[in-house]
Structure 1
Amino acid sequence: MQTHFTLAQLADSGTAEAEKILRTCVHCGFCTATCPTYRLTGDERDSPRGRIYLIKDMLESGRDAGPVETHHIDRCLSCLSCMTTCPSGVHYMHLVDHARAHIERTGKRSVKIRLTRAALALMLPQAGRFRAAMGLAKLARPFRALLPPDLRGMLDLAPDRVHPRSAQEGPATFPAQGARRMRVALLPGCVQPALNPAINDAAIRLLTRLGAELVVAKGVGCCGALTHHMGRDGHGFATANIRAWMAEVEGDGLDAIIVTASGCGTTVKDYGYMFRDDPVLAGPAATVSALARDVTEVLVSLGLPEDVAAPRPLRVAYHAACSLQHGQKVKDPPRDLLRRAGFTVLDVPDGHLCCGSAGTYNLLQPELAGQLRDAKVAAIEGTRPDVIAAGNIGCMTQIGSGTALPIVHTVQLLDWATGGPAPDGLPAHTKAP
């Protein structure tokens, strides 16, 4: 793609990177075939190629973001399926993140939308605030019919139970069982410990059982993904994490930084890019990114015990989170581990398509998110599974809101197969093959 940025514009690092990305696009349109929003709307501007044109025109002109750019880029899931499909290697994630930051600075949204986005950015990254907000949501449920439709959607996603702070939120050290084979740090997350602490509890049991010493570093918190992908600055959260983990690296050392929520993992692995121009943190950020691993990547390295066996035969529909399969390019490890543990793993049709969660997307774009969820649930239920497994808390919440099937994290099944407790909600009986 030909570009016409001025030298003054290219002096800005973000614009210069955007220009490089734009120039790699050859207009082939392969991305339109795998874009969830384009499949729903049929509008070229809701496809990666269309959004790339909108971003190019907006950035080259140097003007404020208009309503068209804001509308169609806000409707992008950042599922990154287009990056998996693209034969030219267009790094759409960095491009759309840069465009979102420009829209956040210069775009004109309604007061209602601005307040909603500000409230989410204030609430979600802070576990204490999130717990308080979910408590208020529970009180508001009896008045659901009186609320506007978009607020009803947010209320429907709120859990029945919010868990109090636990040891997994640190700082803490969990020693390896037997000889120590590696030392790893865990990112507890911000929303996940409150919504489903059983995920990290299972990961801690499983990793220590396999010989990993696990630490939750002092000062670790939200990864910054939620605010960063809203066009807001997530560097403050990332800075705190980088410094906390580097203290561990420079202390007793780390072999890996474990992330159990793949949406967070994609962002932590991108810290090196986010801080590329920081004279102080560029090096440490690159070190942290190099150490970051999805939990299943480390489990493949450690290996499951020879005598591992599923306590009960289960048909498991594995949902590949977009942030894991497209963002991190981690595709085989979760499936391979589940099969190795003795479960029957079912491939979900159109597994490359997003479920509609996408961070805050299901809260800000409930209509499109609901259509994507319903399509995903139909595809999953068509495989006749006993249980759904996934590697991202956002996907689990989104899909779980549309089906009665139990949905658990991959590590919960692996923990169960290696001696841990059975995950809550598993069916009493399994389906015939």
Structure 2
Amino acid sequence: MHAWPASEVPALPGQGRDLRIHDTATGGLVTLDPGPVARIYVCGITPYDATHMGHAATYNAFDLVQRVWLDTKRQVHYVQNVTDVDDPLLERARRDDLDWVALAEKETALFREDMTALRMLPPQHYVGAVEAIPGIVPLVERLRDLGAAYELEGDIYFSVESDPNFGRVSGLDAAAMRLLSAERGGDPDRPGKKNPVDPMLWMAARPGEPSWDGASLGPGRPGWHIECVAIALDHLGMGFDVQGGGSDLAFPHHEMGASHAQVLTGAFPMAKAYVHAGMVALHGAKMSKSKGNLVFVSTLRRDGVDPAAVRLTLLAHHYRADWEWTDQVLADAVARLARWRAAVSRPDGPSADALVEEIREALADDLDAPAALAAVDRWVALQEERGGTDISAPGVVSRAVDALLGVAL
């Protein structure tokens, strides 16, 4: 599966700072030192209704991670999946009388267009669950051979008790895990399971649903968590730097994926940091496909909203914060974009050398994008009030905002 085209990242003088970021597993800030190649895996969409602002906020956060690393002169190895076969996709296709493959392809194509418009840097490997199945089957077989998986009426489940480190990603107790499992695609009430939260690794073929050859597992399709494990281990290996996604993925998705990988490899941890973006609400409730309270990037684009303004709306909120989308937050971003563009359109201005360092400092400190925007606002205010004599300053600001914040002025 192909990703989307990369926008050019301008080179800046000097060098950025190592990223200090919040790790869900430890509950605190950790300073990442990836080495010459930083490795990141971000969980992708289930393509049946893309791309709403919750998606955009998540991918914006991890785009900033990449930009901080690139500014330290590192290479970035970024991997993202597409869950192009899963219950929600099949249910939507049935509801709308659509071919599920065509629906997935259509929504994935729209997602690519949205990511391109928002100047999100693409992954080096963009992998669909379906194309990963040949690599998933042997992992499930190995978990079964290790005694970490069991069969229940033809389905194969992972035993969470097989991983002594299970629970260390989310830090939740058993009651909270069971509740979230029921809310987020699990089946904790199914009779016969060893533990209510044990996740499915391989679903035996159901009538009227797609299935694939599972070798010794029999025909079926993969569970949600093992999909990302197979892709991440194949392209990044164990101990990669950041596992990313929305905060609703900490449990069960990232918790289960970590346990799968740790049992498979005998190593710990799967990722050095588990980083989670906050949720975006609309009309008082988290944006959700099930509720239908969504604001789509593609709709805003069709309505003539500049994607740079959409991105500035996202950047105005700290990536870990939960926040609410309103017409006003977008209007504020549109006004900010106009002021910034007017300021850099002048032939000279106040020196911007300190500004570049302020943006770097803010982003290295747990991706504090609002602080970075405030720094640019201060330079723009100086430009508006009294201008300056540095003919290089407007260009420096434009390049820094593009390279570090992904906003083209």
Higher helix share: 1
Task: Judge same fold: TM > 0.5, yes or no.
Answer: no
Please, what TM-score do these two structures have when normalized by structure 1?
A: 0.26
Higher strand share: 2
